[in-house]
Amino acid sequence: MMTLDKFEEAAELVKKVTLRTKLIYSDYFSDTTGNKVFLKPENMQFTGAYKVRGAYYKISTLTEEEREKGLITASAGNHAQGVAYAAKMYQAKAVIVMPTTTPLIKVNRTKGYGAEVILHGDVYDDACQYALQLAEEKGYTFIHPFDDEVVSTGQGTIAMEIFQELPTVDVILVPIGGGGLAAGVSTLAKLLNPNIKVIGVEPMGANCMQESIKAGQVVTLHNIDTIADGTAVKTPGSNIFPYIQKNIDEVISIDDHELIVSFLDMIENHKMVVENSGLLTVAALKHLDFKNKKVVSILSGGNMDVITVSSIVQHGLIQRGRIFTVSVLLPDRPGELVNVANVIAASQGNVIRLDHNQFVSINRNSAVELTITMEAFGHEHKESIVAALKEKGYNPKIVQPKGTYN
């Protein structure tokens, strides 16, 4: 059982492997949401995520014999690093099964802690089945990433730190994948203050907990589709599900597009890299139906590879109207390109890419295609540039920038 004594024990133990991630007051999110918003930056942990808390506490409760057998787990990345790091502290062998879709940075960092990494399956659930199979075949001790009360107790130590810094907190927003973090945080939060509100947040494309709560029992989604790889889980934990039912007040689901914009918000306003699963609670701030409350958003991790960061920044700028592409048809004669450039310059647009295609049609009097990608200050400025082009007799069409997807 997750009791106050166990949470206190775990809170002391995890200090050996964690940084004290102090709350950050966010002027930006407070101003835009009407609440007093604080961020709990678990993305700043040694392993880049909160998962080391539960992994270390769980391993600390094992017998020497259980540790000597070797440890095995399945993870999309953050729990993998937590187990690998904790196993290294105890000089125990660690085998980690990760989905083949796991970002390279998470794979390499897990290996960097000395663990053996096996890539198997497309999603966490596939990797977990294989890890359980290997545990049975080779006698390894299995460390579940979320469906374990001891692991969940370790994760719940985040709530202890929140209350120590902000005893008057009204609401805690916590990401949900399989439910281990949410179960631990919500259970301890309710033990410390029964009146606090704890809201779980999960991706719309993997809302297994939301569907399970509706059904009153654990259900398995047929498929999942989300960029929040750390919370891409088909089936939530059955052992921790009763804690979720009792202590989580509400579950909000977030569309992937909202995560992209939230990533930009975090980079520009707090200079922090937060992975998509960690951004769930940031995106959820705009969905809250109350004001003037002290709200803590748990940023669960920050492990992202550079290619993913680059892609998300690009798509975020497009969503914000700060990068856009137009296509215009114009006569193939000297000076037309300069004329279009002058219209854009007069409107304070900044051209960052230009494609001039003379072969779109055999009618060179009216069908040379000019595709222009440019920067703007936002949607309003974007529309003013388009309007200026129309006023000068061009017929600009908004098109998808090259190298991006819808």
Top-ranked range on mean pLDDT: pick from 103-117, 232-246, 299-313, 349-363:
232-246
What is the mean predicted confidence (pLDDT) over 141-162?
96
Cα distance between residue 266 and residue 19, in whole Å: 20
Please check whether residue 260 is in contact with residue 315, taking contact to mean a CB–CB distance below 8 angstroms.
yes
Domain coordinates in residue numbering, the chain = 4-49+149-316, 52-142, 321-399
- Closest by CA to 126, choosing from 75, 163, 161, 176, is 75
The pTM of the full predicted model, rounded to 2 decimals, is 0.85
Residue at token pair 């096996």: 118
The 3 state secondary structure assigned to 297-353 is EEECECCCCHHHHHHHHHHHHHHCCCEEEEEEEECCCCCHHHHHHHHHHHCCCEEEE
> DSSP letter string over 259-297?
HHHHHHHHHHHH-----TTTTHHHHHGGG----S-EEEE
pLDDT, one tens digit per residue, over 163-190 is 999 999 999 999 999 999 999 999 999 9
pLDDT at residue 304, rounded to an integer: 85
What is the mean predicted confidence (pLDDT) over 288-298?
97
Task: Please provide the CATH number assigned to the domain covering 321-399.
Answer: 3.30.70.260
Cα distance between residue 345 and residue 405, in whole Å: 28
pLDDT at 298 over 90: yes
pLDDT, one tens digit per residue, over 46-88 is 889 999 999 999 999 999 999 999 999 998 778 999 999 999 9
pLDDT, one tens digit per residue, over 113-138 is 999 999 999 888 899 999 999 999 99
Distances in Å between the Cα of 120 and the Cα atoms of 79, 171, 206, 227 are 16, 38, 20, 19
CATH architecture assigned to 4-49+149-316? 3-Layer(aba) Sandwich (3.40)
pLDDT at 401 over 70: no
Number of continuous H segments (helices) and E segments (strands) in the chain: 17, 14
pLDDT at residue 281, rounded to an integer: 98
* CATH number assigned to the domain with residue range 52-142, chosen from the 4 options 3.10.50.40, 1.10.760.10, 3.90.226.10, 3.40.50.1100: 3.40.50.1100
What token pair was written down for 34?
A: 């009407």
pLDDT at residue 402, rounded to an integer: 59
CATH topology agreement for domains 4-49+149-316 and 52-142: yes
pLDDT at 311 over 90: no
